Amino acid sequence: MALAIDGGSYSPEVLRKAVAASAHVPSYSIGSKLLEELGGISISSRHLNNLTVKIGVELAEDRDARTDAYFDQPLPRTPQRPEVPIPLATVSIDGGRMQTRVDGGGVGVHAPHWRETKNALFLRMNGVSFQEDPHPELPECFVDRHCMKTLLPGVESAENEEKGDRQSAPETRQEHSRWRPEPLFRTCLSSLAASQEFGRMMAAEADSRGFYHAAKQAFVSDGLPYNWTIQQKHFPSFTPILDFVHAVEHVYAVARQVRKDQEELWRLHLQWTEACWQGRVREVISQLRAEQQHLGEPPPGAAENDPRKILADTIGYFLNNAARMDYPAYRRKGLPITSALMESFVKELNRRVKGTEKFWNDGASGEAILQVRAAALCDDDRLQRHMKSRPGRPFRPNTRRHRPTVANAS
């Protein structure tokens, strides 16, 4: 039997269950079926769509209000203190993509296009400090070609590679757990906003978590310039760290351009990767410059796949990020050196919002689904708190016969 709803509006608990279903399953139609079968709640897929968009819009409005309130404070601002001490606060940012369409175009998909999403992860962590580098040797996972196949395109296993050589992986993970920071609690943000506005949202979220009072602070990201602009403007006290995996990807991409023999390529890749791991990035830059002299400078208008351009771009990448690649110092301080947890969050987000068959409206509904999904992936109870604190904003079923004006795709 379907759950009765008094007065034509949904209770906070029904709203929570409905929006949670929308946030976690691939489509509104599946969410509607699960609500009926598991909770006895009868809501059509189209109505579930509209309800989710409504809540998502409210979440975006509340987020923007908190952001404005934070920046409306007189300078210098007084950061909020956390409820419990934070040994290590880590902030990460990464981009994503979702497919959108022109809003208000009626039935069908009109002018589909891909738009960039901005995503941020806020982690309370526990990181142990050391007198010396706890792991100066390059971890086995970066040496094993079999392990690196999933990360680096074109990697081929060595002819003499033995299966037994890969049995040490669990032991290596145990060794890593001794010095890698431990994640304790996460919250996250996602938006279609431009980077300047998203940076403001990040600062307000970090303040609400008490991150500016953390004993240790780290900002981990890839090498995109706008990420470091956000770090410098809103997180200047945080140690900026280039994700080591991105450095490895750049090392391998350039090694492929200067060595064609697979064994020579892999040896050079390991040589440069180990140098980066040990904080010797200036040595890598020097050797890359020597390779550039051998190949020559890229001509004006060189193609993106021109080895000379790839080499020049990689040199620029390492020059721009060299100050963020002191990995031995970061390990000694107990700071993270990869954005693996950030990458995992983006994958979790994409399971709901990304797909060739999914088209979200360019208007408020595209932003709304990001708010609902991100809130559902947070470790706190922000989604439940929002449902309980929204009197005066009840969502009532649309009883009109024509199609609702707010519509979404999945």
Residue type, 383: L
Q: How many CA atoms lie within 13 A of 213 on its CB side?
A: 14
Tell me the pLDDT band of 6, cut-offs 50, 70 and 90: very low
Tokens at 116, concatenated: 């960039």
Tokens at 103, concatenated: 């809003």
State the residue for tokens 């750049």.
250
403: number of Cβ within 10 Å: 11
Q: How do residues 8-22 score in pLDDT, each as one tens digit? A: 467 778 888 899 999
Q: How do residues 194-213 score in pLDDT, each as one tens digit? A: 999 999 999 999 999 999 99
Closest alpha carbon to 14 in 379, 273, 348, 395: 395
Q: How many CA atoms lie within 13 A of 296 on its CB side?
A: 5
Strand partners, 216: 88
Q: How do residues 338-355 score in pLDDT, each as one tens digit? A: 999 999 999 999 999 988
Tokens at 18, concatenated: 């409905």
Residue 13: predicted pLDDT: 82
**Most confident of the following: 37-46, 142-151, 329-338:** 329-338
Residue 325: predicted pLDDT: 98
Using DSSP, state whether 128 is helix, strand or coil.
Answer: coil
- Parallel/antiparallel/unpaired status of strands 239-242 and 113-126: unpaired
Residue 402: predicted pLDDT: 36
Give the max Cα distance, the chain.
Answer: 78
Using DSSP, state whether 400 is helix, strand or coil.
Answer: coil
Closest alpha carbon to 404 in 93, 20, 28: 28
Q: Does the pLDDT value for residue 337 go beyond 80?
A: yes
* SS3 letters across 205-219: HHHHCCHHHCCEEEE
What is the rounded CA–CA span in Å between residue 250 and residue 227? 18
What is the rounded CA–CA span in Å between residue 252 and residue 346? 24
What is the rounded CA–CA span in Å between residue 410 and residue 407? 10
Residue 2: predicted pLDDT: 41
Q: How do residues 121-152 score in pLDDT, each as one tens digit? A: 999 999 999 999 999 999 999 999 988 888 88
Residue 109: predicted pLDDT: 63
Residue 161: predicted pLDDT: 52
Tokens at 2, concatenated: 């379907």
Tokens at 409, concatenated: 């795709």
Using DSSP, state whether 323 is helix, strand or coil.
Answer: helix
Round the average pLDDT of the chain to a whole number and report it. 87
Residue 16: predicted pLDDT: 85
Residue 407: predicted pLDDT: 37
Beta-carbon contacts of residue 112 (< 8 Å; ≥ 6 apart): 99, 100, 101, 359
